């Protein structure tokens, strides 16, 4: 792996997430924790891959708040600790965040937050920079893979010096992009851990003590600000006294630089690139506001710089005079969905510049653009997301759909976060009718299943995955039993955290390093809570449906575990997959009356229609050999050849 | 060779087709040729049967951002016909060259009968109208001959490197392939790569 090359000065290609991991290695990280989530997952995976060799500790935690607490403890004990998570993970850990900011840290303590503009793999466009301001902690925003490494490393030094947690905010386009990184030395300093908080107690106090700690935190932020004024991560390029300047951070800087170059505005437009974005380096910004008459803000998601710089400009108004501000508020920086929504790119910045400056830019001539749009519209049908070929979720949701139909009471299915969230789409027969945050499926079901008093009397099914079960579902399940709800909780146990790239969880028996660890079986937890538990393989589709139906007919809180390994991890382990094919003599095509069940309804990418023969067919390159279609084909025309 | 700087390459296909591996190989080979390289990629939800697009940007001057501006792709490597057309629709121009595997992977909406997948010849015709030139490569068939259909991505890498359009040598790429796979997979992947190189070399340049 490039990430462990110990040749200072060598330039290697690193993904943003690998660069963050490398920064932690160069900082001499002692412990890293996290919960998987796009776009941040690969940071901990990369660190776990070298942890043994470099002799430091890593853990996949059960959820983000435990992850932050674990790292906080290590940092409190004087070690260098880091926690990685996706945007919405910061919501989960925020309770601890809002107190550990005040109780402080001894060792370097760094929180990496991966935001997801345009929601490539999330269900919220949360801009976690707001948490840094909210929690009064220093915030760094890397623009390139090089900065991702360098800033992560510096965040540890800064945190240690100030005695406060530091946040580094990355975005999907940085985390998952690769670029050249000039490596620094790998340092391994032998530190010893001890529980010796400065005041004897590691706490944010209460009453007056909390107010004192809160004030001290503001003092730390002031010191951070002084350092930020001199930071190498902030710079200005372009005409020294430009009247039009761009203020930008993160990936916005790369797009701004390219846009200015493409529009030939290098001699007119200045770019103030900020890497330290909370607290703002006010003196540096003031210096450039002084020569600016117009300012365009370019940043991912919220108008964070935009609003905070405007406040500063109001304070400085007497010195700097009037300035026209453009950005999200003025609707000059907007995606196809609107301002403050979606992600940036070079074209977005170019449009912002052409609309505010006297320049024109036409990427392609009008005729070409119209023709391209027309041809794509006519010949490129949309491609929605779908369960993989052979995914057990397809079987599970077919069973749920069928059981609800047998039941006939128009039951409600609430859902959760994972691959199975796609059951809102045709791939899961649109069975899932709600989705919010981790654990919200069972949490909301708890009361949907207990509103008879107000006339809502329908069967309620909550669905979650296995990793989600451990992460956030256990308290809600206890609550459901405690408050006498009626619900059936279906746990889709595919033995992995699938959506984020197949990381382990507490039910698998391995840890972040891939080493054996004790298993906490889902079944035992549920039985311990005191609810009825059944377990079956969703590919035994009739048994699965029958179980669901029976359990829907009884009162109380019940759990069924659909246990079947993820098709992707299973495929990695086996040597050969079973061959599935259609006996086209048995398939009677459109005369069957099944309405092309295998392709039109079951919707597995492995099932295709042979238009020349008017019969079903298997795409054997795509097919994963699960055999679900063979079990459901009314003509019995699909054959599974087991591997011998 | 295309002389523009930055040189913008798009690799497009469907989740599971090996976009990431292909872009990594091209990018790593470019690094070894002494170029500045940026690779833009998205994975996660989009992998689940959705379209996947990788951007590879090569420059002798500076490190560019991960996203290619509209209409500025020089080369589009398409693992799937309609995804190729979609990428050309956004990033193509009359200067763009396309290398395309014509094997369709049907979207679920097509399988379910909600949408129609047009005949591949018509998709290719639409592509030809929008770009400078197209090479259609039966990469899945060539990959099968090399041992496994999934190596179509490596066949396609062979085609683009063998075309001489990008400043990356065949030998440099072979070295990267050797580093990129587990020992037992190296030989088959080299075979797939060579078959791509051989296929493109036997053709008239476009």
CATH number at residue B140: 3.40.920.10
Do the domains spanning A2-229 and A235-356 agree at the CATH topology level? yes
Question: How many structural domains comprise chain B?
Answer: 1
User: Contacts of residue B123 in chain A, CB cutoff 8 Å?
Assistant: 379-380
pLDDT for the residue A301: 98
Residue A512: half-sphere exposure toward Cβ, Cα within 13 Å:
26
CB contact under 8 Å between B65 and A251, yes or no, is yes
Q: Which two tokens stand for residue A249?
A: 């951070």
Q: Using a pLDDT cut of 90, give the percent of chain A over it.
A: 93
What backbone phi and psi angles, to 5 degrees, belong to B125? Answer: -65, -45
Question: Which CATH code for domain A576-641?
Answer: 3.30.70.20
**Residues of chain A positioned with their CB less than 8 A from the CB of B40:** 173, 176-177
Looking at the domain A2-229, which fold is it? Answer: Rossmann fold (3.40.50)
For residue B184, being part of any structural domain is answered with yes
Instruction: Flag whether residue B115 sits within 8 Å of chain A, measured between CB atoms.
Output: yes
Kind plus residue range of the DSSP H or E element containing A562: strand A557-563
- The predicted-structure confidence for A414-430, as pLDDT tens digits, reads as follows 999 999 999 999 899 99
For the domain made up of A235-356, give the CATH fold: Rossmann fold (3.40.50)
* Closest-CA residue of chain B to A599: B111
What are the residue ranges of helices labelled H in A108-198? 129-135, 145-162, 172-175
Q: Which residues of A touch B122 (CB under 8 A)?
A: 379
Distance to chain A for B172, nearest Cα, Å: 15
**B93 and chain A in contact, CB less than 8 A:** yes
**Tokens representing A293?**
């008459």
Angle in degrees, CA A587, A592, A596, rounded to 5? 80
Which residues of chain B are modeled with pLDDT < 50? Answer: none
Residue B1 falls inside a structural domain = no
DSSP strand pairing (A412-414 vs A11-15): unpaired
Instruction: Confirm whether B2 is domain-assigned.
Output: no
Q: Which residue range is the domain that position B148 belongs to?
A: 7-201
> By the CB < 8 Å criterion, does A596 face chain B?
yes
pLDDT at A643 over 90: no
Q: Which residues of A touch B69 (CB under 8 A)?
A: 258, 262, 345-347, 350, 363
Is the Cβ of B153 closer than 8 Å to some Cβ of chain A?
A: no
Name A260's Cβ contacts closer than 8 Å, sequence gap at least 6. Answer: A238, A246, A266, A269, A271, A353
Q: Is residue B206 part of a domain?
A: no
Record the tokens describing residue A380, joined without a space. 């490129």
pLDDT over threshold 80, residue A545: yes
Q: What is the tens place of the pLDDT at every residue in A459-480? A: 999 999 999 999 999 999 999 9
Do B89 and A376 lie within an 8 Å CB cutoff?
A: yes
**Which region holds residue A119: left if phi is over 0, alpha if psi is between -120 and 50, else beta?**
left
Q: Please list every residue in chain A whose beta carbon sits closer than 8 Å to the beta carbon of residue B37.
A: 13, 178-180
pLDDT tier at A188, thresholds 50, 70, 90: confident
- Measured distance CA(A111)–CA(A226) in Å, rounded: 21
Q: Is the pLDDT of residue A618 over 90?
A: yes
Of residues B44 and A110, which shows the higher confidence score?
A110
Q: Any idea what DSSP says for residue B114?
A: S
Q: Which of residues 479-518 of A touch B (CB under 8 A)?
A: 499-500
pLDDT in tens, A486-521: 999 999 999 999 999 899 999 999 999 999 999 999
Distance from the first to the final alpha carbon of chain B: 11
- When pLDDT is averaged across residues A102-109 and rounded to a whole number, the result is 97
Mark yes or no for CB contact B44/A177 under 8 Å.
no
For domain A392-572, give the fold.
Rossmann fold (3.40.50)
Whether ipTM tops 0.90, in short, is yes
Residue A583, beta-bridge partner list: none
What is the average pLDDT across A446-462?
97
DSSP 3-state of A531: coil
CB contact under 8 A, A621 and B140: yes
CB A116 within 8 A of CB A343: no
**Rounded CA separation A343/A120 (Å):** 10
Around Cβ B24, how many Cβ atoms within 10 Å?
21
Going from N- to C-terminal start, the domains of chain A cover: 2-229, 235-356, 392-572, 576-641
* A107 phi and psi angles, rounded to 5 deg: -85, 165
Over range A450-457, report the average pLDDT. 96
Q: What are phi and psi of A638, to 5 degrees?
A: -100, 125
Q: What is the pLDDT of residues B12-50, one digit of tens each?
A: 999 888 998 999 999 999 999 999 999 998 765 555 678
B197 part of a folded domain: yes
Q: What pLDDT is recorded for position B108?
A: 84
Report pLDDT digits (tens) over A202-255: 999 999 999 999 999 999 999 999 999 999 999 999 999 999 999 999 999 999
């Amino acid at each position: 792996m490039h990430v462990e090359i110990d040749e200072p000065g060598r330039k290697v290609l690193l993904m943003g997430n690998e660069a963050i991991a490398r920064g932690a290695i160069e900082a001499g990280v002692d412990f890293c924790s996290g919960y998987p989530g796009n776009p941040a997952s690969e940071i901990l995976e990369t660190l776990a891959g070298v942890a043994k060799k470099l002799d430091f500790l890593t853990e996949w935690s059960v959820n983000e708040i435990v992850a932050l607490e674990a790292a906080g403890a290590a940092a409190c004990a004087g070690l260098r600790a880091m926690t990685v998570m996706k945007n919405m993970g910061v919501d989960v850990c925020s309770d601890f965040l809002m107190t550990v900011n005040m109780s402080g840290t001894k060792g370097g303590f760094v929180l990496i937050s991966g935001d997801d503009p345009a929601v490539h793999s999330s269900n919220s466009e949360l801009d976690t920079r707001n948490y840094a301001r909210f929690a009064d902690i220093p915030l760094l925003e890397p623009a390139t893979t090089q900065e991702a490494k360098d800033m992560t490393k510096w965040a540890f030094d800064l945190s240690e010096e100030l005695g406060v947690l530091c946040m580094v905010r990355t975005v999907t386009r940085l985390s998952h992009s690769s670029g050249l990184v000039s490596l620094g030395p790998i340092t391994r300093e032998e530190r010893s851990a001890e529980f010796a908080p400065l005041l004897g107690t590691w706490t944010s106090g209460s009453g007056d003590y909390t107010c004192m700690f809160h004030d001290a935190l503001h003092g730390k932020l002031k010191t951070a600000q002084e350092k930020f004024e001199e930071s190498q991560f902030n710079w200005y390029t372009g005409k020294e006294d430009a009247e039009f300047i761009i203020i930008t951070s993160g990936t916005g800087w790369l797009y701004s630089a390219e846009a200015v170059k493409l529009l030939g505005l290098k001699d007119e437009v200045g770019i103030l690139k900020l890497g330290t974005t909370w607290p703002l380096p006010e003196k540096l910004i003031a210096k450039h506001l002084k020569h600016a008459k117009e300012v365009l803000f370019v940043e991912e998601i919220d108008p964070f710089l935009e609003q905070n710089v405007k406040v500063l400009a109001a304070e400085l108004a007497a010195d700097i005079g009037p300035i026209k501000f453009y950005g999200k508020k003025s609707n000059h920086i907007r995606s196809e969905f609107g301002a403050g929504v979606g992600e940036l790119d070079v074209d977005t910045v170019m449009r912002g510049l052409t609309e505010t400056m006297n320049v024109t830019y036409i990427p392609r001539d009008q005729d070409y653009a119209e023709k391209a749009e027309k041809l794509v519209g006519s010949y490129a049908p949309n491609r929605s997301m779908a369960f993989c070929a052979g995914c057990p979720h397809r079987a599970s949701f077919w069973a749920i759909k069928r059981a609800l139909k047998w039941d006939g009471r128009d039951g409600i299915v609430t859902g959760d976060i994972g691959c199975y969230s796609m059951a809102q789409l045709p791939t899961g027969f649109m069975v899932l009718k709600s989705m919010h945050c981790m654990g919200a499926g069972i949490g909301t079901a708890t009361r949907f299943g207990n509103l008879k008093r107000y006339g809502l009397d329908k069967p309620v099914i909550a669905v979650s995955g296995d990793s989600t079960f451990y992460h956030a579902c256990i308290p809600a399940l206890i609550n459901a039993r405690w408050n006498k709800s009626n619900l059936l909780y279906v746990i889709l146990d595919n033995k992995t955290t699938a959506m984020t790239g197949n990381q382990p969880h507490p039910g698998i028996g391995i840890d972040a390093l891939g080493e054996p660890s004790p298993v906490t079986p889902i079944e035992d937890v549920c039985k311990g809570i005191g609810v009825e538990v059944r377990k079956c393989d969703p590919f035994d589709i009739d048994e699965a449906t029958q179980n669901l139906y029976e359990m829907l007919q009884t009162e109380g809180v019940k759990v069924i575990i659909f246990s079947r390994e993820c098709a992707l991890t299973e495929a990695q382990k086996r040597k050969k997959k079973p061959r599935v094919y259609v006996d086209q003599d048995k398939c009677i095509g459109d005369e069957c009356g099944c309405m092309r069940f295998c392709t039109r309804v079951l919707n597995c990418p492995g099932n295709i229609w042979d238009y020349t023969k008017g019969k079903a067919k298997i795409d054997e390159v795509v097919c994963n050999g699960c055999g679900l279609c063979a079990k459901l084909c009314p003509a019995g025309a699909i054959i599974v050849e087991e591997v011998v | 060779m295309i002389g523009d700087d930055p040189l913008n390459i798009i690799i497009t296909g469907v989740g599971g087709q090996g976009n990431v591996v292909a872009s990594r190989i091209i990018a790593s080979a470019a690094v070894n040729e002494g170029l500045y390289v940026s690779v833009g990629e998205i994975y996660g939800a989009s992998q689940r049967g959705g379209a996947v697009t990788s951007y590879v940007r090569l420059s002798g001057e500076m490190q560019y951002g991960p996203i290619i501006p509209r209409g500025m792709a020089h080369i589009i490597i398409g693992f799937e016909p309609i995804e190729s057309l979609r990428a050309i629709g956004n990033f193509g121009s009359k200067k763009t060259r396309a290398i395309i595997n014509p094997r369709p992977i049907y979207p679920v909406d097509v399988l379910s009968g909600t949408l129609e997948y047009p005949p591949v010849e018509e998709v290719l015709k639409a592509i030809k109208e929008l770009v400078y030139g197209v090479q259609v490569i039966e990469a899945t068939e060539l990959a099968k001959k090399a041992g496994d259909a999934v190596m179509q991505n490596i066949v396609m890498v062979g085609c683009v490197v063998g075309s001489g359009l990008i400043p990356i040598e065949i030998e440099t790429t072979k070295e990267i392939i050797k580093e990129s796979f587990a020992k037992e997979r190296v030989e088959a992947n080299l075979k797939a790569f060579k078959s791509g190189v051989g296929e493109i070399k036997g053709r008239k340049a476009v």
